[in-house]
Amino acid sequence: MLELKFDSSSFTRKLRGIQISAIPEAQKKSLYKFGFLNKKKIAVHMKKVFRNPVTFTLNSPLYKVYDENSMAFFIRSNAPKGNKPSKYLAPVEYLTGGVKESYETKFSYWLRNYSGLPALSNKYAIPVMNSPAVQKNKYGNMKPSQYSAVKKGLERFASGAEKAKGNQYRYFSVPAKSGKKASRLRPMGIYRVKGNTLGLLFTLTTKKPIVPQSFQFLGETKRNLEKDMSYIFKSELRKQLAQFK
């Protein structure tokens, strides 16, 4: 989170008397205007550094005006469902310009801890986006409905129910419980099968994936502040002073 203290003294030294009363309102309106403008500019920045970000991510930068002198900028920390932007964007926020371990999604956490497959307790799943078995949404990500189907399928597999009913897909992982025999037959991964059709949905790795620190939330906000705030405040101050003419 970035907090901003706004000092307008350099722009208002020549004001006298009743004109001084225009400053607080001009400052407050300036903070709101800058917050709205910065939110739009951060969304543009996101589109440059992320591959086809979802609307929820683009709308996650937020701001709050405390009073005419201060405000804060932050990333949304709540989500009605799915993963929280403040959590999954934290690893990619620019600190050193290097790389960092990626945020573990709810699906990955479930897979390692609650799938009922002991051999996956130290594995991380990576969707195989070029696999024809993967169902993509308009953003190019695996559909949430397919994640749900995989979870239900793996729960059936873990319980020992290997055959799916009717014309349904069956899901399994390599490795599963011991993994010794299965891992010699196929590469590690999570598979979907129906009839003679086998599809790879996820590869598995023992190392947590890493991501580049490319999201400059604080840096871009500071640059936007230096570029835009003086113009915004002067404009708002003129509007307020016009009321005294």
- 65-76 per-position pLDDT tens digit: 999 889 999 999
Whether residues 196 and 109 share a domain: the answer is yes
Cα 101 to the center of its chain, rounded Å: 14
Whether residues 175 and 237 share a domain: the answer is no
At residue 70, the pLDDT reads 92
Q: What is the mean predicted confidence (pLDDT) over 221-227?
A: 94
Whether residues 198 and 229 share a domain: the answer is no
Beta pairing class for 70-75 and 124-127:
unpaired
Distance CA 34, CA 63 (A): 10
Cα 105 to the center of its chain, rounded Å: 11
Whether residues 216 and 166 share a domain: the answer is no
Q: Is 129 helix (H, G, I), strand (E, B) or coil?
A: coil
Which amino acid type is present at position 48?
K
Q: Which helix (H) or strand (E) holds 110?
A: helix 106-113
Domain that holds residue 217: 2-98+212-244
Which amino acid type is present at position 30?
S
Q: Is 99 helix (H, G, I), strand (E, B) or coil?
A: strand
Contacts of residue 32, Cβ cutoff 8 Å, sequence gap at least 6: 65
- Whether 235 and 131 have beta carbons less than 8 Å apart is answered as no
Side-chain-side CA neighbours of 26 within 13 Å: the count stands at 25
Whether residues 172 and 220 share a domain: the answer is no
Percent of residues, the chain, with pLDDT higher than 70: 87
Beta pairing class for 124-127 and 197-205:
antiparallel
At residue 178, the pLDDT reads 52
Q: How many structural domains comprise the chain?
A: 2
Whether residues 94 and 125 share a domain: the answer is no
Q: What is the mean predicted confidence (pLDDT) over 52-79?
A: 94
At residue 45, the pLDDT reads 97
pTM passes above 0.75: yes
Whether residues 49 and 81 share a domain: the answer is yes
At residue 112, the pLDDT reads 94
Percent of residues, the chain, with pLDDT higher than 90: 69
Whether residues 168 and 84 share a domain: the answer is no
- Whether 189 and 173 have beta carbons less than 8 Å apart is answered as yes
pLDDT 10s digits, 101-129: 999 989 999 999 999 999 999 999 999 99
Whether residues 182 and 223 share a domain: the answer is no
Contacts of residue 36, Cβ cutoff 8 Å, sequence gap at least 6: 63
- Whether 201 and 191 have beta carbons less than 8 Å apart is answered as yes
